[in-house]
Amino acid sequence: MIRVIQSDITLLQVDAIVNAANESLLGGGGVDGAIHRAAGPELREYNIRLGGCKTGEARLTPGFKLPARWIIHTVGPVWHGGKRGEAGLLKSCYREVFRIAIEQNVKTLVLPAISTGIYGYPKEAAAKIALSAMQATEKYFIEIIICTFSAEDAAIYNRQLAKAPASDN
């Protein structure tokens, strides 16, 4: 089941949450900063040893002080008008997140709107990519939750979800 909520991702008690991280994995603004603050300094210390993460890739860490057991960090692309492979990189983010989640036997997964904040990816286009990836892997999960910060973003994902073809899962 895929559903959309407007909430604080750091408060959700699930198997794993996804962090829209930067390449350093050492914290930043938006969702990334909120996750780092809520998880505590152990997350930063752990991530220093990981040595970063390239755009389109993902890394797994413990949730530390979060109610989620795991954090899957992924680095989405910065939007440059769609001419620098942004769509492929965003698709890769989701592929990598779901690959790690399936390997870890995650059954409840929460994702933010990757790359649509400061990275500027157009929200409707990002939602289509996200939902396509979610529907392709939905059968491996009990629940996939899209967690948005704003009502506007929740409405975009709900609209795209309503338009999406029914899943066979």
32 is catalytic: yes
Whether domain 2-163 has CATH 3.40.220.10: yes
**Per-residue pLDDT reduced to its tens digit, 77-122:** 999 999 999 999 999 999 999 999 999 999 999 999 999 999 999 9
Cα gap 59→137, rounded to integer Å: 18
Domain boundaries, the chain: 2-163
Catalytic-labelled residue, pool 8, 32, 153, 168:
32
For the stretch 124-128, contacts whose Cβ atoms lie closer than 8 Å and that sit 24 or more positions apart, written own/partner, are 124/156, 124/160, 125/87, 126/90, 127/156, 127/157, 127/159, 127/160, 128/160
**Per-residue pLDDT reduced to its tens digit, 16-25:** 999 999 999 9
Q: pTM for the complete prediction?
A: 0.95
